[in-house]
Structure 1
Amino acid sequence: MSALSPHAASDLASSHPLLRPWLARPYPAVMGILNVTPDSFSDGGRFNAPDRAIEQARGMIAAGADIIDIGAESTRPYTGAEPVTAEEELARLKPVLPAIVALGVPVSIDSMKSRVADFALEQGAAIANDVWGLQRDPAMAEIVAAHGAPIVVMHNRADVDPGIDIIADMLGFFARSLDIAAKAGIPAGNIVLDPGIGFGKTAEQSMIALARLGEFARFGLPLLVGASRKRFINSVVTSEPQQRLGGSIAAHLIAAQRGAAIIRAHDVAETVQAVRVAASIEALG
């Protein structure tokens, strides 16, 4: 199980220092999901109280999370998410972010707003995670460049179109995002690509993106995959989000085999165990 494509592995020395140790390992890093929101698709409302959010972060770190990804606005990949202002997003973050940063594990800020990303990076967050791949907020790329932080560039679409070639759409999207990043002065070694499983895609398109993940190796950049509890699993075996652990693990192991360097998951302990056991077995083959 290789965490990097051969091309990306050859560029390891140019990667951001925060990313480099994870990319050198034979199994993916695990990013634990922490939603301090009332309406996220899987765990909305569970961790929007500051004490519960901080305790959940501690638990994920104890379970082996390499990164804590904190989001204060639901970007649920279906209908029903309520957009919030930057002020509301910041109000949700301020009581929890400093305490979670102080736990000592790198924190990623999951936001599509440059103002929120700027605040979080100033408060000690180490990574920006933009679900619109630098293509929604015109100031996002400049903010990320100014902080010198790694950035997760995720593919997204405003509308689902079953008739398109989803891989071609993703390749074009990433090319545009990388052009924006380059013009803003973000080094290539700071960029992680995310296929955006479930976002702007049918269930079949999400599975195609996973099956053909290796095609994104042409960019020579590390890949992050977040298939955790996503609805495509329900299209294979009928299930509610909390019943999708098996499907999540299956998708993430496939992603790791196809080059994912980071796995974003709700169920941290189970995901850490799965990727490390799989890598240990493959090492003996």
Structure 2
Amino acid sequence: MTLNCNGNLIDLSTPKVMGILNLTPDSFYDGGKYREERQILTQVEKMLLEGATFIDVGAYSSRPGAAAVNTEEELSRITPIVSKLVKAFPDIILSVDTFRSQVADACLGEGAAIVNDIAAGLQDPQMFKVVAKHQVPYIMMHMKGTPQNMQQHTDYKNLITEMLFYFSERIAKAREHHINDIIIDPGFGFSKTLEQNYSLLQKMDLLQTLNLPILVGISRKSMIYKVLDKTPQEALNGTTALHMVALRNGAQILRVHDVEAAMECIRLNDLLTK
């Protein structure tokens, strides 16, 4: 499988790492840490040097119960940074983490190359049109409800079956808009209980029937640190352990805070798959 990112063909036969850059003051792990230009450029350079293929930049915290941010505020946080990163790192492959078509359109116009949408187009009916206009890869995540109420929507008769129906419907809609490159994100921590997250990780290989790349975002999440009675800051070891499970079960992109550790997982997993 390959992705066309601004004319660069990215081969996913070997899994890739997507480094996280949060521009929000209230993200669960690194909220407020990267607010000044120097800090941002230093962190992005570090992630690229450590081996990140993609950098995912977001300005709307989607942690459970996070406060909503209006479109104008999201735009003011993210578009200047996208512009600066593209100028500072001409070869960077930037993903924009947003469910708003207006934000996606602005960032793609500044040089971003991927849209990462936690709502799979359900929160903004114009999203598919924007992605199709720019002909960029599109990450669609599984979630019910919104970040503000998603943890009230965790009732499933069969989680995997319902996810397959969800993705099949969203993929069909995206194909109607002639969106070519689609990545699916199971949405760990989004409208799922702790137990459901682990059941999903265990059975994630069943999502490969969709024949699309799978992105996994579990880095330092509560499904790890709550089990271990740790804080997000202490959850790297647990994250690394579950990254290896995700790779064994079909993940082709790891979305992470800690690029070097994720790259080590990929190198070791590569030896196991030869």
Same fold by TM (over 0.5)?
yes
Q: Which residue of 210, 219, 222 maps to 1:219?
A: 210
1:22 and 2:7 aligned: no
Q: Give the AA of the match of 1:24.
A: S
Match of 1:89 in 2: 74
Flag structure 1 segments of 5+ consecutive residues without an equivalent.
1-11
Q: Which residue of 230, 234, 238 maps to 1:243?
A: 234
Match of 2:248 in 1: 257
Q: Which residue of 37, 40, 53 maps to 1:66?
A: 53
Alignment of 1:45-194 (within 5 A): 45-76=32-63, 78-79=64-65, 81-102=66-87, 103=89, 104-158=91-145, 159-162=152-155, 164-187=157-180, 190-194=181-185
Deviations 1:102-144 (A, max 9, x none): 3122000000100000011111100000001111110001100
Q: Distance in 2 between matches of 1:260 and 1:151?
A: 16
Q: Distance in 2 between matches of 1:119 and 1:38?
A: 21
C-alpha displacement of 1:270: 1.0
Question: Runs (4+) of structure 1 moved beyond 6 Å?
Answer: none
Q: Secondary structure at the match of 2:80?
A: coil
Q: Distance in 2 between matches of 1:146 and 1:36?
A: 26
Q: Distance in 2 between matches of 1:106 and 1:91?
A: 21
Flag structure 2 segments of 5+ consecutive residues without an equivalent.
146-151
Q: Distance in 2 between matches of 1:277 and 1:215?
A: 23
TM-score by length of 1: 0.88
Deviations 1:253-273 (A, max 9, x none): 111111111000001111111
* Bigger relative CO (Cα 8 Å, ≥ 6 apart): 1
Q: Distance in 2 between matches of 1:234 and 1:149?
A: 34
TM-score by length of 2: 0.92
Is the CA contact 1:29–1:261 (under 8 Å) kept in the aligned structure 2?
A: yes
- Tell me the C-alpha RMSD between the 2 structures: 1.5
C-alpha displacement of 1:88: 0.6
Q: Secondary structure at the match of 2:4?
A: coil
